[in-house]
Amino acid sequence: MTDGDAGWAPLGSAAGVRAWGPTRASALAQAAQGVLALVVKPEQVAEREHREVRAQGQSPEQLLFNWITECLYVHEIEGFAVHRVEVDACSATVVHGVLYGEELDTGRHRLGTSVKAATMDHLSVAERDGRHELRIGVKA
């Protein structure tokens, strides 16, 4: 499996995303990318700046929830639109990554769903046949 096997998709009729990848790190990056893409499409955003994000959790589910919460914080509080997400360090309880993008400009960036927070709805973390699969709901 390669990083080309990583991706994300909306959760159908529910507000949220499902993400997958060959490693937990790649799946976490895809989950953040997916949630942030609900707000602003990545293709509308240039990689002019970056923001580091770190989260901790006592369980895989709590780690996913806290990671998405921290990424949303950077978007909401700093007004940062995201083009790409990389996770450069990931353990069972800690994740560290980088959001690449630029300051949100409503004149150039067309806003999609207003994501207010991550939720425990649909929250799941699983590994099946060497593929990490994540699901997380969001409050829109």
Instruction: Give 113 or 18, the one with higher predicted confidence.
Output: 18
Q: What is the pLDDT of residues 87-136, one digit of tens each?
A: 999 999 999 999 999 999 999 999 998 899 999 989 999 999 999 999 99
Q: 24-39 and 60-78 helices cross at what angle (nearest 10)? A: 40
Q: What is the DSSP string of 52-118?
A: EEEEE-SSHHHHHHHHHHHHHHHHHHHTEEEEEEEEEEE-SSEEEEEEEEEE--TTTSPB-----EE
What is the enclosing helix (H) or strand (E) of 121?
strand 117-128
pLDDT in tens, 84-101: 999 999 999 999 999 999
Phi then psi for residue 103, to 5 deg, are -60, 135
| SS3 label, residue 134 | strand
pLDDT-based confidence at residue 1 (cuts at 50, 70, 90): very low
CA dist 63 and 103 (Å) reads 26
Helix (H) or strand (E) holding 27: helix 24-39
Mean pLDDT of the residues in the chain: 94
Phi, psi for 104 (deg, rounded to 5): -65, 130
Mean pLDDT of 54-60: 98
pTM listed for this prediction: 0.94
CATH H superfamily, domain 17-139: Archease domain (3.55.10.10)
Rounded distance, CA 8 to CA 33, Å?
8
